[in-house]
Amino acid sequence: MSMKALVFDKFGGPEVLEYREIQDPSIGPDDILLEMKAIGLNYADVYRRKGNYHLEGQPPYILGYEGAGIVKQAGENVENIKVGDSVAFADVPSANAEYVVVPKEKAIPIPDGVSFESAASLLLQGLTAHYLTKDSFPIKQGNLALVHAAAGGVGQLLIQIIKLLGGNVIGLTSSDEKREKALSAGADEVYLYKEDWKEKIKEYTSERGVDVVYESVGSTIMDSFEVTGIGGTVVFFGMAGGDPVKIDPRMLMDTSKTLTGGDLWNVLTSHEERINRSQELFEWVKSGKLNVLQTTFPLKDGARAHDYIESRNSKGKILLIP
């Protein structure tokens, strides 16, 4: 048996990706075989293709970690999942293929009313936004949050979730077009990095500052502390703009501020965690409270999709459809 997959034999630009026949995967007793219907493309896939991130095993390599599809086979130890069920996953390798082997503890059932495209768009970034707003700093009615990179995938989801939990949001982004995206996601106000955004936030909050900053840029961490009010929190969960400086604990003491860190893999530690958190996201999607814009490419045109995500002009979540 063989299947088609998007593979690459050497690291490099999008042109190294090829759509070709390879050996069908085989499942173990604790796995399911999923016929893929939608696959999420993430920036981490670009880093893996370039060789910046370590890859296990030998070529041909297959990218992709997130997706959704229909169960074709279930191993003998698999309960509660049967052939024909709709299932999604957030962190199973080799997703850029017609079929993917998914360990049962990573299989997330998709409820009726949620499309394969929505499920594949939502999990990695949605679960990130979920733990940031529920665990790292639980958003309460009336909280004011500052979201860095507000037009990005996680940024747009953070804005929507903060609003539906009763908070208000200021977004930060790099262009007028991205500002419009963040506003249409529901941000109350959006400033550009090239403006004097710290001054604007101080004015907006009458010098009080924000309750929480969701900091994913890294190099801006001291600016984030500057606009955080006394007793406020900076949640550090990414460094897309470079390494942060070292933080002096005395500054935290003098201002009663909190610095906390977040990583999704410290949260998704059990099957139960995956299911419970995903179900809440899926409920929000079904009720229309959470929307993810999608741009789709056929899986065979994966190189074009990689070009598009690297152009930095991409809109919404990029999906690959086998």
pLDDT of residue 308: 94
- One domain for residues 100 and 153: no
pLDDT of residue 171: 98
pLDDT band at 240 (very low <50, low <70, confident <90, very high): confident
- One domain for residues 105 and 19: yes
On whether the CB atoms of residues 70 and 85 are closer than 8 A, the answer is yes
- One domain for residues 176 and 216: yes
The share of the chain scoring above pLDDT 70, in percent, equals 100
Helix (H, G, I), strand (E, B) or coil at 36: strand
On whether the CB atoms of residues 38 and 88 are closer than 8 A, the answer is no
- One domain for residues 176 and 94: no
- One domain for residues 252 and 132: yes
pLDDT of residue 311: 87
Mean residue pLDDT of the chain comes to 96
Which tokens is 118 given?
């929505």
- Domain presence at residue 33: yes
Length of the chain: 322
Task: Please enumerate in sequence order all residues whose Cβ is within 8 A of that of 246, keeping only pairs 6 or more positions apart, or say none.
Answer: none
pLDDT band at 213 (very low <50, low <70, confident <90, very high): very high
pTM (two decimals): 0.94
pLDDT of residue 286: 96
- One domain for residues 88 and 178: no
C-alpha neighbours within 13 Å on the C-beta side of residue 116: 19
List the one residue out of 141, 140, 172, 134 whose CA is nearest residue 155.
Answer: 172
- One domain for residues 138 and 258: yes
Helix (H, G, I), strand (E, B) or coil at 197: helix
The Cα-based distances of 133 to 136, 164, 208, 235 in angstroms read: 6, 11, 21, 10
CATH of the domain at 45: 3.90.180.10
pLDDT of residue 172: 98
pLDDT of residue 312: 74
How crowded is residue 92: how many other Cβ atoms within 10 Å of its Cβ? 19
Q: In total, how many domains does the chain have?
A: 2
Answer with the one of 247, 265, 283 that is the final residue of a domain: 265
Mean pLDDT of 11-27: 96
- Domain presence at residue 286: no
Answer with the one of 220, 249, 265 that is the final residue of a domain: 265
Answer with the one of 218, 248, 265 that is the final residue of a domain: 265
- Domain presence at residue 284: no
- Domain presence at residue 56: yes
Place of tokens 């999608």: 294
- One domain for residues 162 and 251: yes
pLDDT digits (tens, 9 = 90+) for 79-117: 999 999 999 999 999 999 999 999 999 999 999 999 999
pLDDT of residue 9: 96
pLDDT digits (tens, 9 = 90+) for 125-171: 999 999 999 999 999 999 999 999 999 999 999 999 999 999 999 99
pLDDT of residue 135: 97
The Cα-based distances of 52 to 44, 47, 138, 198 in angstroms read: 9, 5, 34, 33
pLDDT of residue 57: 86
On whether the CB atoms of residues 66 and 91 are closer than 8 A, the answer is yes
pLDDT of residue 229: 98
Mean pLDDT of 306-314: 87
Which tokens is 180 given?
């419009």
- One domain for residues 202 and 160: yes
- One domain for residues 45 and 148: no
- One domain for residues 99 and 74: yes
Mean pLDDT of 1-14: 94
pLDDT at 280 over 90: yes
- Domain presence at residue 279: no
pLDDT of residue 88: 98
pLDDT digits (tens, 9 = 90+) for 180-202: 999 999 999 999 999 999 999 99
- Domain presence at residue 234: yes
- One domain for residues 252 and 310: no
pLDDT digits (tens, 9 = 90+) for 32-62: 999 999 999 998 999 999 998 888 888 999 9
CATH of the domain at 164: 3.40.50.720
- Domain presence at residue 210: yes
Domain that holds residue 256: 125-265
pLDDT of residue 321: 98
The share of the chain scoring above pLDDT 90, in percent, equals 93
- Domain presence at residue 232: yes
